[in-house]
């Protein structure tokens, strides 16, 4: 059995006698185990009957402490030593949240009576009251303390109650703490100052100080937590600011590229006309010029749309306009619209689309998703074959776009669905890193899911699942 240097044997001295009702506060279970096991050992040594009403974990701890020095089987068999589970015992006499005197008498009184017939003195330890405190049943707790005091008028026993001091660690627990102290003949402070004085008032003051220390400790812990939260949210904020700044620089670069191309083209045209090179006014040349201008304007428009979508998502105003539509037909339309780009990339297109996959979706938003995934496959597909499949399974439509291009590393794959995240550096391929983020928002708004599977250099597969109906 371990020794507590500050232990002054008060509980085991003749000063603690039948009729006394002490409260022992404790900070750590190990200290309580030490106190109670010594108390039990001393009781057995004096030939007293001992009843311990504690939680299963505490009973284990007490027995472990004792069994190093004592064989408990004899005292337990002869009922000199009785362990009762606090929760079970409490359940035997609690009625509507309050202890019932008659039932309490049956549960505890009859045991004490049997013990008293064989032993001249009885010592009891209980922590049912601490269980009631933990439940927040303070009135039940005080009532039970009073019932113990009433029981002491019928049977002769000394009683020790155990309370965790941290159970009173809120400023508002002061009244409960005082009521508990007031129902006991002796207050025994917790281990941080366990040298017990002869003056009970002093012990009580010490226990009160310990309670205040527990209050401060709790507040400090709360403060530490909120400081950690603050640091965390600051780090998140800094990361968001960095992402935004990076986005702004990529966005301005991206917006400038088509604009610069347009300005150069028009300047060149003007220069040629001024110089008298009228070939630029030939219909074929003008058609080329208009096509190229349209492409650059289209690119500008898409970038601006993406930026608008981002702010819509941020302000929660991305509203779906659902209508009945066929996903397979839409995918074929999108592929038709991208025919020139696909041809330009050199990628062979392999399509497998089941027919009549109809659902209630926002047509233009789903078009945006399909177009983004296929455009990425073209952009990052290295001119190798691209497969597009649309299937239906158990009320869920599935679109899968697979390329054999540059692929994405595992670390980047988890980021690409985030805002402003790009797997490769800004200079490599143009894009704002917004497309997949917007796709995810759209798909999730449809109660669907989107994910990617890829390895660096091994191509990528992006898949979307959409439930056919709104549930
Ligand atoms: P971006 O406009 O930059 O293409 P996305 O959000 O569509 O933005 O994609 C985010 C990043 O994910 C891209 O910058 C690219 O690094 C990576 N990515 C997306 N699709 C593919 C793909 N099929 N193969 C390889 N990388 C891809």
Mean pLDDT calculated for residue range 235-263: 81
Mean pLDDT calculated for residue range 86-98: 97
pLDDT value for 422: 60
Our mutation pick for probing the ligand 1 site, out of 372, 432, 436, 437, counting the most ligand atoms within 8 A of Cβ, is 436
Residue 465, H or E segment: strand 460-467
Any atom of ligand 1 within 6 Å of the Cβ of 405: yes
Q: How far is C-alpha 385 from the geometric centre of its chain's CA atoms? A: 43
Exposed/middle/buried for residue 112 (C-beta within 10 Å: 0-12, 13-18, 19+): buried
Q: Is the pLDDT of residue 146 over 50?
A: yes
pLDDT value for 4: 44
Tell me the pairing of strands 158-164 and 21-26.
Answer: parallel
Contact between 158 and 116 under an 8 Å Cβ cutoff? The reply is no
Locate 57 and state its tokens: 């974990």
- CA of residue 422 to ligand 1 center, whole Å: 6
97-125 pLDDT, tens per residue? 999 999 999 999 999 999 999 999 999 99
Tell me the pairing of strands 98-99 and 158-164.
Answer: unpaired
Contact between 456 and 464 under an 8 Å Cβ cutoff? The reply is no
Mean pLDDT calculated for residue range 2-16: 61
Reduced to 3 states, what is the DSSP secondary structure of residue 223?
Answer: helix
Any atom of ligand 1 within 6 Å of the Cβ of 58: no
pLDDT value for 299: 82
pLDDT value for 425: 52
Task: Please tell me the least confidently modeled range out of 56-70, 119-133, 246-260, 360-374.
Answer: 246-260
**What percent of the chain lies above the pLDDT cut of 70?**
93
- CA of residue 289 to ligand 1 center, whole Å: 30
Mean pLDDT calculated for residue range 312-340: 89
5, HSE (Cβ side, Cα atoms, 13 Å): 2
Closest residue by CA, ligand 1 atom 14: 422
Any atom of ligand 1 within 6 Å of the Cβ of 434: yes
pLDDT value for 52: 97
333, HSE (Cβ side, Cα atoms, 13 Å): 12
Reduced to 3 states, what is the DSSP secondary structure of residue 344?
Answer: helix
pLDDT value for 421: 61
Mean pLDDT calculated for residue range 324-348: 94
Task: Please tell me the least confidently modeled range out of 23-32, 307-316, 386-395.
Answer: 307-316
* pTM score above 0.85: no
pLDDT value for 20: 93
Of the pLDDT bands very low, low, confident and very high (cuts 50, 70, 90), residue 2 is very low
Beta-sheet strand order (sheet of 396-403):
349-353, 386-393, 396-403, 460-467, 449-454
Task: Please tell me the least confidently modeled range out of 98-102, 126-130, 211-215, 444-448.
Answer: 211-215
Contact between 178 and 20 under an 8 Å Cβ cutoff? The reply is no
- CA of residue 413 to ligand 1 center, whole Å: 9
Q: Report CA-CA distances (Å) from 368 to 5, 372, 432.
A: 75, 6, 15
CB atoms within 10 A of CB 65: 21
pLDDT value for 198: 65
pLDDT value for 426: 46
Contact between 57 and 32 under an 8 Å Cβ cutoff? The reply is no
307, HSE (Cβ side, Cα atoms, 13 Å): 16
170 or 146, which is more confident: 146
Average pLDDT, the chain: 88
Exposed/middle/buried for residue 38 (C-beta within 10 Å: 0-12, 13-18, 19+): buried
């Amino acid at each position: 059995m371990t020794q507590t240097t500050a232990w002054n044997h008060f509980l085991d001295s003749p000063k603690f006698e039948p009729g006394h009702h002490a409260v022992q506060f404790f900070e750590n279970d190990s200290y309580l185990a030490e106190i109670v096991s010594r108390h039990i050992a001393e009781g057995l040594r004096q030939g007293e009957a001992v009843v311990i009403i504690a939680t299963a974990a505490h009973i284990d701890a007490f027995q472990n402490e004792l069994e190093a020095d004592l064989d408990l089987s004899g005292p337990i068999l002869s009922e000199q030593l009785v362990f009762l589970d606090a929760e079970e015992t409490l359940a035997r006499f609690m009625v509507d949240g309050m202890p019932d005197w008659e039932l309490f008498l049956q549960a505890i009184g009859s045991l004490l009576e049997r013990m008293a017939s064989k032993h001249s003195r009885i010592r009891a330890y209980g922590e049912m009251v601490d269980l009631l405190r933990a439940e927040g049943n303070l009135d039940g707790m005080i009532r039970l303390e009073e019932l113990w005091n009433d029981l002491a008028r019928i049977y002769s026993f000394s009683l020790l109650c155990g309370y965790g001091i941290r159970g009173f660690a809120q400023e508002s627990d002061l009244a409960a703490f005082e009521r508990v102290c007031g129902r006991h003949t002796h207050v025994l402070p917790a281990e941080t100052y366990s040298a017990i004085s002869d003056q009970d008032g002093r012990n009580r003051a010490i226990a009160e100080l310990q309670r205040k220390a527990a209050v401060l400790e709790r507040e400090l812990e709360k403060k530490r937590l909120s400081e950690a939260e603050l640091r965390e949210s600051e780090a998140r904020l800094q990361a968001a600011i960095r992402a935004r700044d990076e986005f702004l620089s990529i966005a301005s670069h991206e917006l400038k590229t088509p604009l610069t191309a347009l300005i150069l083209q028009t300047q060149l045209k003007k220069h040629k006309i001024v110089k008298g090179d009228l070939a630029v006014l030939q219909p074929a040349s003008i058609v080329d010029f208009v096509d190229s201008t349209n492409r650059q304007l289209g690119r500008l428009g898409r970038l601006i749309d993406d930026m608008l979508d981002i702010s819509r998502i941020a302000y929660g105003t991305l509203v779906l306009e659902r209508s009945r539509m066929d996903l397979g037909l839409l995918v074929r339309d999108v592929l038709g619209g991208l025919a020139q780009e696909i041809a330009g990339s050199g990628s062979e297109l392999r399509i497998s689309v089941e027919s009549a996959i109809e659902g209630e979706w926002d047509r233009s938003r789903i078009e945006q998703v399909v177009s983004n995934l296929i455009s990425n496959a073209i952009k990052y597909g290295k001119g190798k074959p691209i497969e597009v499949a649309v299937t239906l399974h158990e009320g869920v439509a599935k679109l899968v776009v697979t390329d054999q291009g540059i692929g994405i590393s595992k670390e980047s794959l988890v980021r690409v669905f985030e805002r402003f995240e790009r797997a490769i550096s800004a200079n490599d391929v143009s894009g704002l890193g917004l497309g997949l983020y917007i796709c995810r928002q759209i798909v999730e708004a449809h109660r669907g899911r989107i994910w990617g599977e890829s390895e660096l250099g091994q191509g990528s597969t992006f898949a979307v699942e959409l439930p056919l109906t709104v549930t």
